[in-house]
Structure 1
Amino acid sequence: MEKGFHGRPQGLTADNWDRGPFNRWAFQHVRELVPTVNVARGLGHASALPARHETLATVAFSLDGEEDTVGNWLETSHTDGFLVIEGGAVTAEIYDNHMSPRTPQLVQSVSKSVTSAVAGCLVAEGVLDPEDALTRHLPELASTAYAGATIRHVLDMTSGVVFEEDYTAPQSHCARLDAAAGWKPRRHPEWPGTVFDLVLSLGETECAHGSSFRYRSIETDVLAFAMERASGLPLAELVSRHVWAPMGAESDASFTVDPSGYALADGGFNATLRDLGRFGLMVARRGRAGDRQVVPAAWIEDCLRGDPALFNAESRVVLPQGAYRNQFWVEEAGRQVLLCRGVFGQLIYIDLEADFVAVKLSSWPDFVNPAATRRALAAIRAIRDRAR
């Protein structure tokens, strides 16, 4: 398999740490690079993950007429960790690039789905209502493009707010988000100094709220700010209390934090491979971990109800019949498969009907690679279907 760096690589800077090839080291060492806040696992026992390992390297799959194997895919896709859980048992657990079972990895936008799980708990408690106007909890947004938008709109990324989800353009909203989040130096004094300041700077709309899906990372942060205001608790504490501890995580997790101490909901979560598998298994079992209902089953069911009519053409390249709901990707409308996805190749694949979970942690050289994502999905489906 492709190897990364044994130690901190020469040439790594505050500007390039999250870009290839430096991300091969940096994604496992985020706490050495930017400020973070802990997400406690609590004092309980870790939930059991029994193992019945199988050899999956020879499982074959095809994509666009080309034959491949799972083993070759893992060797050629910048793998850091790969985990498969079937029927509650681990059938594959693979580490590469110097990763270990105790190593936390930055999971990028998989963080969005973790945030969603907490939102589901707050909705069930009556603390938050998806139909609430955002301004009920964040009155400051009345002077922004989010005026008139609801919690539902940011949950599903269907607000009409202009946000340039361009990861490489130096003046894009994403570049400003990197600086506001504390991931990159703030090169321009007029740029927002915190994530909330960036939200307050968004003043343009491109379409009516609720009319279509556009992937905007900042929507998760708007959701998290509303969750914090409604509950009176910071996001890291909410994740610990509602998800990480009750699901039986084995290790503490963490979030990167901006200069104000805000935990970056849209992409700053760090966790171990096995705990990400536990999270996926909890979702696969409709919010249950063992005998405990962690996330309301109704919330998980609602995540499956994404409307493909709102999906955009760019997203259909990877998920032709897909949708987006509650900060989860729906693989195919009408099927019971949810995806948690992050740039640089982070993926949790959750098939509720098959009781199947796969976690792929990667450090791709590219932010986004539709061909590589389609290949990953084809490989994982072949694993799931191999005995059918």
Structure 2
Amino acid sequence: MQNNIALSIAATLSTGVVMAKPSINETATPQEIQQIHDFFLEKDNKVKIQFPEPQSQYAWQNMSRFFPTAQITRDGQVYELPYALNNDIGMITAKVHGEAKTLNEHLDSFPVDGFLVVKKGEIVFERYNTMRKTDKHNWFSNAKITSGIELAKLVIEGKVNPQAPVSQYIPELKGSDWDSVTVYDTANMATGLNATEHDEPNHDSRTNPEQPWFKWAVSIGLFEGEGQQMPLETVAEMHRRGPGGEKFEYNSINTFVISRIVENVINKPMNEIVSQHMWQYMGANNDAFVAVSPHGGYPLQFFSMNSTLEDMAKYGMMLTPSAPKLAGHKGVGSDVIELIQTSGNPSAYHKGFAGQKFAHSFYDDTGLRNAFQFDAIFEDGDLFKSGVGGQGLYISPSKDLVIAFFSSGDGNNQEESYARQIAKSFN
């Protein structure tokens, strides 16, 4: 018999109705937790942790139970975000699948775990539905920007040549098609190589064991499957099917690759880099953690960084004028932010699955681009990154604004549309 958590989440996913209620961690019994663990241990079920299965809502808030992890440690005094609540934000409307609703109505109707708006270092809107402020939640692909930002820093510092081939920085890829792929195109999800996440002809990269992307996921321990290849061996087998730089083809393998570039140049693992460059300087509430691969112990920044919602927002604040409020640190340099804002190719954006999806979400905007692992860069310089299941981080350096949210849905409920409309409501 399905456990009570699974039944309640299944009802949520089928009806689309979520009301504010106790945290999933508060209501889970030991027996229910055991059943969820047993579910993901069943053959062929591990792959389901990426989808809004009934058991996933608990898993997404407790990823350290299901994967080995490495810590991203905090330091210094915790910065307590002050409150300056603005009830008008809850009344801002956006169109979801063509239907206009207020933010409050949306949060009552969709499986959004938490939604937070921080303006000039103050919380102006806060909503927790199925998690507590102290609960950690999986960022999924929001974590990709931790590698993108670190790579942009290295470019500004002159330590990485963005036009150099990837194999210059990853010796294991010499002699492969990565000899002809630039660091820049990899950072911008435009390699022209195969084994993409959404843009293969059969659209089954995440579910078909025969697909090269799936085989790579097996090699890093994300999925179960046959074979004992090392992760970089699977990456080296990718082949060119088009020119680089011309098409935005979303692919977590690109993040895995640039993470290895950053690690090789700095000579530290990604969890230590994120900790020492960001987490220890942002007045974080807690340590974060990231899943690591069984083979090689690679921190998997492309999909599994976990923290509280406030700490994800504080990470975003490191790219805003409020960064010094956190721990007296200047934050990410303006030259790094400008590099990200002005990179990418707008003409490539709509040619792949992801660009078309976000063009739908940001229906009032034109000239969108992606770069350094951000999914959407707007003409006004605002930045957005999304993650599987409806995770999101919206950063407006010019408006000193950060919007962060966690969800347990299918990723198509357009919380990002509300983030954009909220940003437009501020001068």
Structure-2-length-normalised TM-score: 0.81
Distance 1:286 1:132, change over 3 A: farther
Q: Which residue of 1 aligns with 2:79?
A: 47
* Count of residues paired in the alignment: 375
Cα distance, 1:295 vs structure 2? 2.0
Residue 174 of structure 2: SS of its match in structure 1? Answer: helix
Q: Which residue of 2 aligns with 1:90?
A: 123
More off after superposition, 124-133 vs 323-332: 124-133
Is residue 322 from structure 1 mapped to residue 368 from structure 2 by the alignment? yes
Cα distance, 1:212 vs structure 2? 2.6
The within-5 A match list for 1:14-53 is 14=41, 15=46, 16-19=48-51, 20-42=53-75, 44-53=76-85
Cα distance, 1:87 vs structure 2? 2.0
Percent identity over the alignment is 25
Q: Deviations over 1:332-376 (max 9, x none)?
A: 3x2221001111101111122222211110111x3x42xx22xx2
Q: Deviations over 1:293-344 (max 9, x none)?
A: 2322111111111320121333134225311111112343x22210011111
The within-5 A match list for 1:81-160 is 81-97=114-130, 99-160=131-192
Distance 1:40 1:322, change over 3 A: same
Q: Is this contact kept in 2: 1:286–1:295, CA < 8 A? A: no
Unaligned runs of 5+ in 2: 1-17, 198-204, 360-365
Aligned counterpart in structure 2 of residue 312 of structure 1, from 337, 347, 350: 350
In structure 2, C-alpha distance between the alignment counterparts of 1:354 and 1:295, rounded to whole Å = 16
Q: Which residue of 2 aligns with 1:303?
A: 340
Q: Is this contact kept in 1: 2:341–2:377, CA < 8 A? A: no
Q: Which residue of 2 aligns with 1:60?
A: 93
Distance 1:331 1:211, change over 3 A: closer
Is residue 10 from structure 1 mapped to residue 38 from structure 2 by the alignment? no
Q: Which residue of 2 aligns with 1:258?
A: 293
Cα distance, 1:270 vs structure 2? 1.0
Q: Deviations over 1:91-126 (max 9, x none)?
A: 1222222x2222111111111111222223333444
Which one-letter code corresponds to 1:181 in the other structure?
A: I
Which one-letter code corresponds to 2:335 in the other structure?
A: A
Which one-letter code corresponds to 2:40 in the other structure?
A: T
Distance 1:63 1:269, change over 3 A: closer
In structure 1, C-alpha distance between the alignment counterparts of 2:112 and 2:98, rounded to whole Å = 24
Aligned counterpart in structure 2 of residue 164 of structure 1, from 179, 196, 200: 196
Residue 290 of structure 2: SS of its match in structure 1? Answer: strand
Is residue 341 from structure 1 mapped to residue 386 from structure 2 by the alignment? yes
Structural RMSD (CA): 2.4
Q: Which residue of 2 aligns with 1:246?
A: 281
Q: Which residue of 2 aligns with 1:229?
A: 264
Aligned counterpart in structure 1 of residue 212 of structure 2, from 164, 167, 173: 173
Cα distance, 1:383 vs structure 2? 3.2
Which one-letter code corresponds to 1:82 in the other structure?
A: F
More off after superposition, 228-237 vs 242-251: 242-251
Cα distance, 1:63 vs structure 2? 4.9
Higher share in helix: 2
In structure 2, C-alpha distance between the alignment counterparts of 1:120 and 1:196, rounded to whole Å = 23
Cα distance, 1:172 vs structure 2? 2.7
Q: Is this contact kept in 2: 1:287–1:296, CA < 8 A? A: no
Cα distance, 1:385 vs structure 2? 4.3
Q: Is this contact kept in 1: 2:111–2:407, CA < 8 A? A: yes
Distance 1:250 1:121, change over 3 A: farther
